[in-house]
Structure 1
Amino acid sequence: MTAYRTSTKIKLGLILAAVAIGLASLLFTQRLADRLEAQDEQAVELWARAIEFQYRVSATDVGPAPEVWDDLARATATSDLPVERRAALLAAIDTLREGPPSDGLDFVFSEIVEPNRFSIPAVITDTAMTSAAIARNVDEGADLLALAAEMDRVHPPIRIDGFGGQLVHYGESPLARMIRLFPYVQLAVVALFVLVGYLGFSYVRRSEQSNLWVGMAKEAAHQLGTPLSSMIGWVELLRLGDAVDPEEVADELERDVDRLRRVADRFEKIGSRPALVPTPVRPVLDGVADYIRRRVPTSGPPVVIEVDADADLVACLNVELFEWVIENLLKNALDAMEGMPGPHRVDLVGRRVGDQVVVLLRDTGKGMDRATARHVFRPGFSTKRRGWGLGLSLARRIVETYHGGQISVEATAPGEGTTFRIALDAADTVADIGNADAAEWDGSGTDGRSAAQG
């Protein structure tokens, strides 16, 4: 249920992140578009005022007839004024005859009015909107009056005083339109990204779930296979009659049944939080090591499994699950030694470090590179051709989720073996685990329950 809720929260977070990115982008680009629109409006206003200025200068440029200037010049030349005064007046008359300087008007016409200095679509019409005089940045053959009316729905027209009055109608520049459309395009890209991420996340989760189910099924078959095979063998011996001692067979069958019970307990406790009891660590390590020693293949190089743990080492454990962790680590160590020249060695070392119990498992196997070591605890990841990648992921779940500890690869290198490190909370005293359970601790450093697994 917790994993399902976490997955739902992640998906919801992706959707909310996409919406937030889209809204933030929309607001930001809207501000950019508004600023660009204000600049476009100023450009159109400048263009309109330049045309208005041209109209006004052209209207005031109509002066007196040339004969008037000639008569004025003759009257001034024949007047009684001083010579210098008459020369200044004649020069002024010549200037007025030529008209005002046209540099400003030429600049306005050649640099502002005539060239297309901006990309804003604009249309100039009369005030009644019955005819269009000038059009800029519009398609040829377009209905200018209809286009002007459409532009007025976006921006109010600018009035030009001249020649009876005219109106400048303008719309949005292509750049402003692109900026307004950009957040929607970006939102579509983000939505596509979230969709791909969601589908990828769902695929990975389904793949991991599939690997987990397959791995659990194979692990269950593997755990049940050993005691069942042993029981089948003892049943066959019973059929031989007096060839075996029935009491001995009964004892062995009882051990195999107990093994089946313990396997069932392991899988049952995977789905619930088990109780942790202060327990001596050394007997647990000895029991699992003894169980694995009896199952080491005799056809290959010899393998030595040694336990070096302080006798007074006590940790808060669930024995059945912690045994499963050590068992999986030892099996992985044996698999890592296959195909390598012997002799081989596996060391189980237990020490107290501060308020923790630290267990190290060292082997002389193939070792791993860094990339492989980073993924060994992932469900479904395995370096073995016939592996299902569940043993170490189960070990991590048991240590970290159920025991509140840590498990990690402390050291490894290709050809130099691997060292796994487990850290658990230490306990000062052994709990009263009941007479039945206490009877199984035989005091010799061996867990009777673990030994019975054989």
Structure 2
Amino acid sequence: MNPYEQKRRWKFLLLAFALVIASASLWYTNYLVKNIAVSERTRAEVWAMSFKKIIEIEDINDEYLTVIFSIRDSLSMPTIVTDERDSIIYWRSLDSTKTNFQVEENGRESAIFTRKIHDPGYFKAQLAEMKRQHIPIVIIKEDGEKWFVYYKDSQLLTQLKVFPYIQLLVIGLFLMVAYTVFSSSRRSEQNLVWVGMAKETAHQLGTPISSLMAWIELLKSKFNAEKDPLILEMENDVHRLEMVADRFSKIGSTPNLHSHPVYAAIKDYVDYFQVRTSEKIKLSVTGDHEVEALMNIPLFEWVIENLMKNAVNAIGGEGSIEVKVIENLVKEQVFIDVTDTGKGIPRLKFETIFQPGYTTRRRGWGLGLSLTKRIIENYHKGLIFVKDSEPGKGTTIRIVLKSSTRYEPATDHPADKVY
């Protein structure tokens, strides 16, 4: 199993474990909520019975009356008693600032000219909420009239209903921050390792490249082969090795970007690559010859190299690869489409192919497209993505760069000039 698949499996396992914990927490909290809700319903029914006794019994001794009133006063949930016409008869445990407050009359400040009123909108809202939460308890009086006892959840029960979601939110935020910090530190550590390995590789390549250059010069002078095609191709390969070493030596440092014709940069590498690939695969570069973009040529050629090699591997036998340069004048962008006739990519893998470690080859490291994405997005401030792909028909990968083409301002027509 490659590292990417293994990492993804661990992510799924951790996610499943987190879902089990969250489900268990929600289940247990709902269990407590149901028990407390049953308990509050029972207390409300007992309270309704005591309330009925108070309004029905006229001759009652003080001891019995004390017991009934203690039951009535023990109810902590907000409660409203209404008749059949929803006229409020009694309430308790509501907001006292809304149920009983003073209003001045005629702007006079004297207490003589103030009166106590209630906020009808508050009662209406509370009663509507109570009706939504619970079925009312019915009190049938001796004369047959029905009163209804409405109540809503206590503050404890309300908080308990919300608590697990707040808890899960806090845990989720903590895990997110922890994952971000951990990933950032891990990426920083990996970057340091990559930079060190790259610079050491460039250093190790320096000596054999110098030796190869010396041997080529010796062959030229000894056999008078200045224009021999084989010697020229050997020189091209040595120059390519020099460029590779230069790429590795500059990893970790900010590259210098210069405005350069995109078509020319691509054509130079494709011409070099065509000689070194199978004759069964036809390469072509089409599109706008003049459009320019800010690029670092050695790094950009590395991108084209990785895309071309992946396309060749995807084709396997006979096929074609086309690189098309398109200028988007509206957005001032350059589109570079690399299209092959290979085996294609499933839609679910469009993002995955750019992940480090992902590869379909047995001996592949899965770093080419990951490095390509980093060069385009981090160094060139562009975008790279799978524009289109269909298994068995081929793939188109698009690169988006910011255009740096300088256009000359339009000149006036001679007929418009005044001499």
TM-score, normalising length: structure 2: 0.51
Structure-2 residue corresponding to 1:283:
264
Q: Which amino acid aligns with 1:57?
A: D
Query: Could you say if the C-alpha distance between residues 120 and 383 of structure 1 is closer, same or farther in structure 2, counting changes exceeding 3 Å?
Result: farther
Query: Could you say if the C-alpha distance between residues 356 and 43 of structure 1 is closer, same or farther in structure 2, counting changes exceeding 3 Å?
Result: same
Q: Which amino acid aligns with 2:59?
A: V
Once residues 385 and 328 of structure 2 are traced to their aligned partners in structure 1, the CA distance between those partners, rounded to angstroms, is: 16
Structure-2 residue corresponding to 1:136:
none
Structure-2 residue corresponding to 1:57:
59
Once residues 403 and 327 of structure 1 are traced to their aligned partners in structure 2, the CA distance between those partners, rounded to angstroms, is: 16
Q: Deviations over 1:286-327 (max 9, x none)?
A: 21112322432x5xx722222224443433322222212111
Q: Which amino acid aligns with 1:402?
A: Y
Q: Deviations over 1:237-274 (max 9, x none)?
A: 89999976698989967973674356434652654253
* 2:171 is equivalent to residue 192 of structure 1: yes
Once residues 287 and 209 of structure 1 are traced to their aligned partners in structure 2, the CA distance between those partners, rounded to angstroms, is: 35
CA-CA distance at 1:282 after TM superposition: 2.8
Q: Which amino acid aligns with 1:359?
A: I
Query: Could you say if the C-alpha distance between residues 414 and 215 of structure 1 is closer, same or farther in structure 2, counting changes exceeding 3 Å?
Result: farther
Q: Give SS of 2:354's match.
A: coil
Structure 1 contact 208–379 (Cα < 8 Å) conserved? no
CA-CA distance at 1:198 after TM superposition: 4.6
Structure-1 residue corresponding to 2:370:
393
Structure 1 contact 347–362 (Cα < 8 Å) conserved? yes
Once residues 287 and 240 of structure 1 are traced to their aligned partners in structure 2, the CA distance between those partners, rounded to angstroms, is: 26
Structure-2 residue corresponding to 1:413:
390
Once residues 328 and 186 of structure 2 are traced to their aligned partners in structure 1, the CA distance between those partners, rounded to angstroms, is: 39
Query: Could you say if the C-alpha distance between residues 367 and 120 of structure 1 is closer, same or farther in structure 2, counting changes exceeding 3 Å?
Result: same
Query: Could you say if the C-alpha distance between residues 51 and 329 of structure 1 is closer, same or farther in structure 2, counting changes exceeding 3 Å?
Result: same
CA-CA distance at 1:413 after TM superposition: 0.9
Structure 1 contact 276–403 (Cα < 8 Å) conserved? no
Please show how residues 371-390 of structure 1 align to structure 2 within 5 Å.
371-390=348-367
Once residues 336 and 222 of structure 1 are traced to their aligned partners in structure 2, the CA distance between those partners, rounded to angstroms, is: 28
Kindly name which structure, 1 or 2, has the bigger radius of gyration based on alpha carbons: 1
Once residues 213 and 203 of structure 2 are traced to their aligned partners in structure 1, the CA distance between those partners, rounded to angstroms, is: 16
Q: Deviations over 1:79-98 (max 9, x none)?
A: xxxxxxxxxxxxxxxxxxxx
Query: Could you say if the C-alpha distance between residues 305 and 198 of structure 1 is closer, same or farther in structure 2, counting changes exceeding 3 Å?
Result: same
Please show how residues 71-86 of structure 1 align to structure 2 within 5 Å.
none
Query: Could you say if the C-alpha distance between residues 392 and 120 of structure 1 is closer, same or farther in structure 2, counting changes exceeding 3 Å?
Result: same
Structure-1 residue corresponding to 2:307:
329
Once residues 322 and 393 of structure 1 are traced to their aligned partners in structure 2, the CA distance between those partners, rounded to angstroms, is: 14
Structure 1 contact 358–424 (Cα < 8 Å) conserved? yes
Structure-1 residue corresponding to 2:256:
274
Q: Deviations over 1:24-66 (max 9, x none)?
A: xxxxxxxxxxxxxx9999988765555555664246xxxxxxx
Query: Could you say if the C-alpha distance between residues 376 and 47 of structure 1 is closer, same or farther in structure 2, counting changes exceeding 3 Å?
Result: same
* 2:288 is equivalent to residue 349 of structure 1: no
* 2:342 is equivalent to residue 360 of structure 1: no
Structure 1 contact 43–118 (Cα < 8 Å) conserved? no
Please show how residues 56-135 of structure 1 align to structure 2 within 5 Å.
56-58=58-60
Once residues 175 and 255 of structure 2 are traced to their aligned partners in structure 1, the CA distance between those partners, rounded to angstroms, is: 36
Task: Extract unaligned runs of 5+ from structure 2.
Answer: 1-39, 77-151, 408-419
CA-CA distance at 1:283 after TM superposition: 2.3
Q: Which amino acid aligns with 1:274?
A: N
CA-CA distance at 1:361 after TM superposition: 1.4
Q: Deviations over 1:206-229 (max 9, x none)?
A: 776677677778888998999877
CA-CA distance at 1:412 after TM superposition: 1.1
Once residues 242 and 58 of structure 1 are traced to their aligned partners in structure 2, the CA distance between those partners, rounded to angstroms, is: 130
TM-score, normalising length: structure 1: 0.47
Structure 1 contact 357–424 (Cα < 8 Å) conserved? yes
CA root-mean-square deviation: 5.2
Structure-1 residue corresponding to 2:103:
none
Q: Which moved more, 1:412-421 or 1:42-51?
A: 42-51
Query: Could you say if the C-alpha distance between residues 264 and 251 of structure 1 is closer, same or farther in structure 2, counting changes exceeding 3 Å?
Result: same
Task: Extract unaligned runs of 5+ from structure 1.
Answer: 1-37, 60-107, 122-172, 431-454
Q: Which amino acid aligns with 2:272?
A: Y
Once residues 371 and 168 of structure 2 are traced to their aligned partners in structure 1, the CA distance between those partners, rounded to angstroms, is: 39
Percent of pairs identical after alignment? Answer: 24
Say which structure, 1 or 2, has more relative contact order (CA 8 Å, 6+ apart): 1
Structure-1 residue corresponding to 2:97:
none
Once residues 395 and 195 of structure 2 are traced to their aligned partners in structure 1, the CA distance between those partners, rounded to angstroms, is: 25
Structure 2 contact 199–250 (Cα < 8 Å) conserved? no
Q: Give the aligned length.
A: 286
Once residues 423 and 392 of structure 1 are traced to their aligned partners in structure 2, the CA distance between those partners, rounded to angstroms, is: 15
Once residues 286 and 195 of structure 2 are traced to their aligned partners in structure 1, the CA distance between those partners, rounded to angstroms, is: 32
Q: Which moved more, 1:320-329 or 1:387-396?
A: 387-396
* 2:399 is equivalent to residue 422 of structure 1: yes
Match of 2:246 among 258, 264, 271: 264
CA-CA distance at 1:285 after TM superposition: 1.3
Structure 1 contact 288–327 (Cα < 8 Å) conserved? yes
Query: Could you say if the C-alpha distance between residues 295 and 118 of structure 1 is closer, same or farther in structure 2, counting changes exceeding 3 Å?
Result: farther
Q: Deviations over 1:149-179 (max 9, x none)?
A: xxxxxxxxxxxxxxxxxxxxxxxx9966444
Once residues 398 and 153 of structure 2 are traced to their aligned partners in structure 1, the CA distance between those partners, rounded to angstroms, is: 64
Once residues 153 and 336 of structure 2 are traced to their aligned partners in structure 1, the CA distance between those partners, rounded to angstroms, is: 70
Once residues 236 and 285 of structure 2 are traced to their aligned partners in structure 1, the CA distance between those partners, rounded to angstroms, is: 27
Q: Give SS of 1:57's match.
A: coil
Once residues 196 and 172 of structure 2 are traced to their aligned partners in structure 1, the CA distance between those partners, rounded to angstroms, is: 36
Query: Could you say if the C-alpha distance between residues 257 and 364 of structure 1 is closer, same or farther in structure 2, counting changes exceeding 3 Å?
Result: closer
Q: Deviations over 1:355-377 (max 9, x none)?
A: 43332211121111111123223
Q: Which amino acid aligns with 1:316?
A: L
CA-CA distance at 1:400 after TM superposition: 3.4
Q: Which amino acid aligns with 1:386?
A: R
